[in-house]
């Protein structure tokens, strides 16, 4: 059974920075009223999600999922100096990751797990999508925060530094390109790429308020293994608890298809 610890913790600086960048973007793209509503909302929020595991070590070829953006180009970039903390602090900004001074081609180095892979998709000169993959638990993955609550030997934190397991970080599709299958398309490329590079497992957290995240993981056959609940007070404190999970969220919470 889980040795679960219940404690109120300070929200991390990354979450505060992400919230601030989201507010800035909301003001720019969705107008003052939506901005005001978002500013007022953080007195109390409740959210829940699922920690998923997707195995890449099967012998079957990973199917490529097409999307409705014909000239999409997905570039994998490796930034060895970047932590997930720094990646996620970009919030919902497109950010020109290909121009990052340390962006380079990824070459697998056995025994070394550090940095971020970023799958950066464009169409012509337009930013279309980005998905981050952390090659290490260091630097603040949600998995690390969840693990600190449960400390269960079956889910060791060290697995994210074993050189075979990676953590799926934040994804963003530009508003203009949403609902065209881009996320699904990029994720199929992510899985193929990781498998080709010798990784065997991807762990990721999908929150219930982002239906796309859950739908994608369910359709690709990822397994939910933990249920995660979070209450945030005044944006500064959060209270998280976790329980084991075996059922698909589509069954468990009736997310519509
Ligand atoms: C979440 C997000 C990345 C999805 O990107 P997208 O390119 O529009 O997703 P896709 O078109 O590939 O859709 C993938 C699946 O999710 C479903 N979906 C997409 N947006 C949805 C929505 N708003 N509500 C319900 N289902 C949705 C699609 O129908 C599709 O399901 P299907 O394969 O069963 O048909 C995008 O909405 C986004 O950038 N949101 C803001 C950032 C965010 O919340 N990121 C969290 C993800 S880690």
At residue 99, the pLDDT reads 94
Report residue 25 CA to chain centroid gap. Answer: 19
Give the helix ranges, DSSP H, for the chain: 13-30, 32-40, 84-88, 142-150, 182-196, 211-220, 249-252
Q: Provide the residue ranges of all domains of the chain, joining segments of one domain with +.
A: 8-252
What is the reported pLDDT for 165? 86
As a whole number, mean pLDDT of residues 190-208 equals 91
Top pLDDT among 12 and 190 is at 190
**Average pLDDT, whole number, for the chain?**
82
Q: Band of the pLDDT at 257, cuts 50, 70, 90?
A: very low
Q: Which of 49, 118, 127, 183 to mutate to test the pocket of ligand 1 (most atoms within 8 A of CB)?
A: 183
pLDDT, tens digit, 9 for 90 and up, residues 114-172: 899 999 999 999 999 999 999 886 665 666 666 666 566 666 666 666 678 888 999 99
Residue scoring higher pLDDT (136 or 41) = 136
pLDDT tens by residue, 70-89? 899 999 999 999 988 788 87
- Nearest-atom index, ligand 1, CA of 184: 12
Name residues contacting ligand 1 (CB within 6 A).
170-173, 178-184, 210-213, 215-216, 219
Q: From the CA of 180, how far away is ligand 1's center (Å)?
A: 9
Q: Characterize 44-76 residue by residue with b for buried, 16 or more Cβ atoms within 10 angstroms of its Cβ, and e for exposed.
A: eeeebbbbbbbebeeeeebeebebebeebebeb
Separation of CA 211 and ligand 1 centre (Å):
7
pLDDT of residue 103: 95
Ligand 1 atom at minimum distance from 173 CA: 39
Mutation probe of ligand 1 site: the residue of 212, 213, 221, 250 with most atoms within 8 A of C-beta:
212
Q: Check if the beta carbon of residue 164 is closer than 8 Å to that of residue 201.
A: yes
Cα–ligand 1 centroid distance for 179 (angstroms): 6
pTM, rounded to two decimals: 0.82
Which is the closest atom of ligand 1 to the Cα of 168? 48
Instruction: State the distance from the centre of ligand 1 to the C-alpha of 43, rounded, in angstroms.
Output: 27
CATH classification (class only), 8-252: alpha beta
């Amino acid at each position: 059974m889980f040795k679960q610890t219940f404690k109120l913790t300070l929200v991390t600086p990354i979450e505060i920075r992400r919230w601030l960048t989201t507010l800035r973007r909301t003001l720019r793209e969705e107008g003052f009223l939506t901005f005001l509503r978002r500013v007022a909302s953080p007195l109390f929020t409740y959210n829940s999600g699922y920690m998923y595991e997707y195995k890449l070590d099967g012998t079957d070829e990973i199917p490529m999922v097409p999307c409705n953006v014909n000239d999409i180009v997905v570039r994998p970039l490796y930034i060895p100096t970047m932590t997930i903390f720094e990646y996620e602090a970009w919030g919902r900004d497109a950010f020109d990751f290909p121009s990052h001074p340390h962006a380079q081609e990824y070459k697998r180095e056995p025994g070394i797990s550090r940095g971020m892979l970023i799958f950066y998709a464009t169409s012509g000169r337009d930013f279309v999508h980005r998905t981050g993959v952390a090659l290490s638990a260091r630097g603040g993955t949600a998995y690390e925060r969840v693990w600190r609550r449960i400390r269960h030997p079956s889910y060791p934190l060290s697995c994210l530094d074993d050189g075979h397991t990676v953590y799926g970080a934040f994804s963003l599709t530009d508003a203009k390109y949403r609902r065209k299958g881009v996320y699904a398309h990029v994720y199929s490329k992510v899985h193929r790429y990781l498998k080709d590079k010798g990784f065997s497992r991807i762990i990721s957290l999908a929150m219930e308020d982002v239906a796309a995240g859950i739908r994608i993981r369910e359709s690709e056959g990822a397994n939910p293994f933990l249920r995660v609940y979070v209450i945030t007070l005044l944006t500064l404190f959060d209270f998280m608890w976790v329980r084991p999970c075996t059922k698909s969220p589509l069954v468990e919470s009736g997310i519509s298809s």
